[in-house]
Amino acid sequence: MMKNNIAFITGATSGFGRAAARRFAQDGWSLVLSGRRMERLIELKEELTDVPVHIIQLDVRDEEAVQQAVAELPAEFAQVKLLLNNAGLALAPQGAPQVELKDWHTMIDTNIKGLVNVTHALLPRLIETGAGATILNVGSIAGQWPYPGSHVYGASKAFVKQFSYNLRCDLQGTGVRVTDLAPGIAETEFTLVRTKGDQQASDNLYNGTTPLSAEDIAEQMFYIATLPDHININRVEVMPTRQAWSAFAIDRD
């Protein structure tokens, strides 16, 4: 293991981000953990006592706050090797005609603008790190495969996929790697957020099957970020074995 590896993780207060913090801590990485819920960040820092941890209460949608947070990173956390763009959400599982416009805007502002804000702020540091530095963007199978109720969420994750590919082109020669990690169904707080707290809807989604766990995805993240410097995985699409595609829908008389 290389010393002084530093990971900057957005959305570290739950789900994939929290699991990733724990997984990278197991390997001795120093962590910059950001999220909107300060109490959860404090709890996670108190848990991960074996590695240096810097926490930032941060809404990635706030461009100025993101720039300030990166500019004010303590010296011991400044040489970021991994940017894990995990902050994101889905809202409004109803069909597009039933959705409130503000929910679309929230997804665009978080999943697209937030990711862009953090990436742009950290690019100089990642380029300075050079070989082995990694930008790992959390996409979704929804960015590749349409389904009813995905509307702006799926479109935002399609942006993540194409942005990742385009970054690869622009960063060629810097040593910085870029990956779009696209999970399928995973049991986290995702559906609770999407349904604005409907626990029954969340339970129904995962009942009777075997979804991915946050730890499953964290293990993929760790694998991608610790590959030899000359290897770049462009995209990983991972589903549970019990999830697959459905037939095309056909409207009939």
Q: Name residues whose C-beta falls within 8 Å of residue 21's C-beta, 6 or more positions apart in sequence.
A: 7, 9, 12, 31, 33, 44, 48
Cα-flanking dihedrals φ and ψ of residue 128, to 5°? Answer: -65, -40
**Cα separation, 73 vs 51, whole angstroms:** 16
**Cα separation, 114 vs 188, whole angstroms:** 21
| Annotated active-site residue in 153, 165, 206, 223 | 153
153: annotated active-site residue: yes
First vs last C-alpha separation in the chain:
63
**Cα separation, 69 vs 155, whole angstroms:** 28
At position 47, the amino acid (one-letter code) is E
Residues 105 and 160 sit within 8 Å (Cβ to Cβ) = no
* E strand or H helix that includes residue 182: strand 177-183
User: What number of other Cβ atoms are within 10 A of residue 163's Cβ?
Assistant: 20
Q: Name residues whose C-beta falls within 8 Å of residue 96's C-beta, 6 or more positions apart in sequence.
A: 151
Catalytic residue annotation? 153
